[in-house]
Structure 1
Amino acid sequence: MKWDVSLFLLRFIHLTVDDVYGWNKPSFISNWYPIESQNSENSSLTVTHSLGELPAKVDIQIKVVIDGVDYIFTGIGSAQRDNDIAHDYGGVVYIYNNAEVILSLPFGGADSGGVAYTGSHLDYNGPSSPVQGKHNNGFVRVKAWKQADFPTPLFEKAVQISDDETDSFKEINHQSSVLPDLVTAQTRLDGGYYSDGQGVIFQMTTLSSSNCIGGLLFGYSETKVRLWVPYQKPLNDNDCNGAVFFQHDGWGRNPFVSNNGTVVLKGYKLDENLVFETTVRVEDKISSQDIVYPSLYNTDHALVTVQVKHDANGGNNQGMIFDGAGTALSTNTKYSGVIYVYTNSSILLWTPSSLKGYMVFINNRWGSGQMHSAETSADVIVRVYAVIECPNPTSLNSNYTISNGLRVGSVVTYSCYSGYIYTSGYLSRTCQSNRRWDGTDPICSQMQCLHPDGIANGTYVFTGKSVGDTVKYTCNVHCQYEAGDLERTCQLGGYWDGISPVCSVIKCADPGGVFNATYSVAGFAPGNTVTYTCVAGSMHQAGDSTRVCQLNGSWNGIPIVCYTAAGSTNFNPVFYSPQELAESIEKTKTELTVDKKTTSSYARTLVCATDPRPSSLHIGTGGIALLSSMLAAVILPDMIIFIRHIRHMSNIYRRQK
């Protein structure tokens, strides 16, 4: 077979901000577990998932590390063969329910099973790669998506199927009229476990009734889904010689065979999350080139699919799509399908090369031969789905919040730290489909204070205008500090603490005149002088005729003393300081103060004085007579009534006796 390069289509999907995303990263990703084939004691592994529901999709990744490169194979939904045939094979079979995933590894028989296999070079052609061949050791992990991680299905159908010859083929019209990007075929088995359908046949039939064959093959188109199961031959006493699912005879510690089940079909459109797609036309041989991605993809979150599309111009399954396989389990019978292995940077494909190999193959054993196919040419469609995400936002001197994670359309909103102010860039940015935030990072600069205010009669120096910087003030020469703050600090709010200082000019008071002298003042600032001159006829006896204004606002020296020449007595002037003068005045006031109660006038106010004048006698006598008359007029009527009352009471008393 060959790849027709002229039909090699490579396209990138660019999404718009308005796209609505219905597909998310897997809700559960397990750790990597070391695995080894041909070890019966460790041939099963149970991984408990945390979804709390049946997964909508399970992806089993088998990792083989070569020269530091992680090569990823994919698990398979059913063992299609047992270990009886000495023909190399590999893979990890899995089933799952709403709580766990059970993995089964090959062991025993001809010891020909590995954990992963790209297929024999006699059976498959593909790129020359270190990963080509069978691998007995590796690592495995489970990725599982909730139903809420997927968009609403285009359709959802359920159908019963079994290994009975008359019940081993089903065709379902899904009626969506849209070609899904992905179809899941989850078969409910005995015990409540589920297995996933496959798109390849590795074993056409069994060579002996003691051999096992099983699995669910499915393909789909715009209108329908078809299902095939290898039927159980009549009078066969081996229940795995034809089954819907089996892990038996060399697969895992606990054999499990299911001969019937209910298949739940769901179709999805995932093109909104499509980040890479290439379609390759395969004819008769494969190229030696692998397919390199345009950028690195995170294998933790991405979903890689490889599908084979049946030609639309012939055969029973025109235009139908079948899934490729992530490992090879072929025997020496006829087989079909594409094997794929991927890394974070490329994907490698192997296609059937021998006369027994087909791109699409369905024979009489599968589905009783209904809608059989044997196609050697087909289109191979490779897709990578991922949640388009922007990197974590960067921030400098700011905090940020994100509205909806790192996906396209999410908005990051920044706010500057306290003490910082937004100066440029974008405070709100949106994640674009090119995995970049629009706009530019915001710049938050440290908040600065205004230039310090100058002051009268002073100067200042400052270390800067950023938070924590200081400004220091100094009063000029001949000036003195009166109020405010001589040192101020720039605060977070962009202001200087405290208040501006006040510096006032130092001045001396008017020195005043002196008896028998005149004076002239040159000024009142420090250094200025006042000069005294005794008037004519007077002489300078003491004190300073010239006094200088000092820095403390006082005049030096002492006042001048001038005396007249006619005076025959010399005297020594006494000089008081302002405080001494005030104390002397207060003492004098105390000594000169007289208590008024000790005066004769106060004493006379307390004693009545005799008035010898006749008029005084007459006025006094008249006043007494008047007062006596007024008193008698008030009291006399009451006295009469009182006397009568006494008499009356006395009469009453005598009668009673």
Structure 2
Amino acid sequence: MERRRPVPVIVPVCLCACLGSFVHGYIQLNSSDSYQQLSTVCINAVGRTYIEFAVKASTDVHVALMTDDLVTPRDDISQFYEVVIGGWSNARSCIRAQNVSCDEIDTPGILDSNNFVQLWIGWENSIVQLGQGLHAQQTVAVSHVQVPPYDINYLAVMTHYPSPWRFNEDTNCTLEEFANTEILINDTTCNGITQYACADGYNLTSGNLSRVCGIGQQWIGDPPVCLVPRCPEVLSTSAVTVLSQDTHIGGRLFLTCTQNHVLLSGDLSRTCLSSASWDGMDPICEACLCPSAVTSYQFNTTEELMEKIEEMTRELKVVTRDTNAYMRSKISVADPRPSSTSIGVLLGWGILVSLVVVLLLCDARTMLRHLRHGVR
């Protein structure tokens, strides 16, 4: 007699060796009386419409077709089609959905406890089918209309007694090689880890040096990108201007404060270290509160300002012996007579007095009118 309809039991996800192994081109696993999800051996239902397998069992083989995996909570076993193969002491089989009763179909001797039996299960056009042999032969043993229809993304298997299964599936990933990298460990099997290393003189800038072969022959982890180490590029700001930079190891970076800014702290000359970082500190330049009107000058340090002041002092220094007065004193004869000095004085005062009188005469009429009418 058929066993009671089982409630799915969650089997923890583990490496392939936990549930199955890869033998001679096929995947082999052993099932028990709790559902084991096939994604643990990199087999899923996404992107396919059937699965072929071989099983060696005496009775009660179960295959679950699910929308969500076993870990996701569900209301009873909704969105959970169950295919029962060789139930009722290997006499009948059925396909049932959710809490719908099972319509049994006679399939006497469909299982064999001594030999692997080739079977397939398909789900296409809202019809779930159980067949014998290979899917291409289309030997259908049980057919069931999928009501209500839903997406089938995951598969799980279970048997009344411990039983071996075989899945002729190619779950290996394709080995990928990348520039400037070396392969340390090459394992492209399901859940296998392939380990990379950057070549000498290169550093990892993005991606992963360890990648896992996952479901659908897809690698888990981004491709590693190994490049020659370089310091990060420095960009000009409103306060600091980049004059030149070489981001290779040992390269130099030259900066300057922008116009009307002065260096408060940090370094305007830096070197790219072997750690791909700049030595020194980031420069901090602050705007001058009273910038020089001579905008062609730019001083980043007090030393530069003092040097410029000394240079201008030298340029503006007056040498007594180079003045016209000094030269005239050397080539002209002094005239001590009073007439030679008093004439200049009298002439100067005369000119000043004349200018004052002219200004007063120009405003005389206006001043008289104001005085006469009391205008102030």
Larger radius of gyration, structure 1 or 2?
1
Give the structure with the larger helix fraction: 2
- Superposition TM-score, scaled by structure 2 size: 0.31
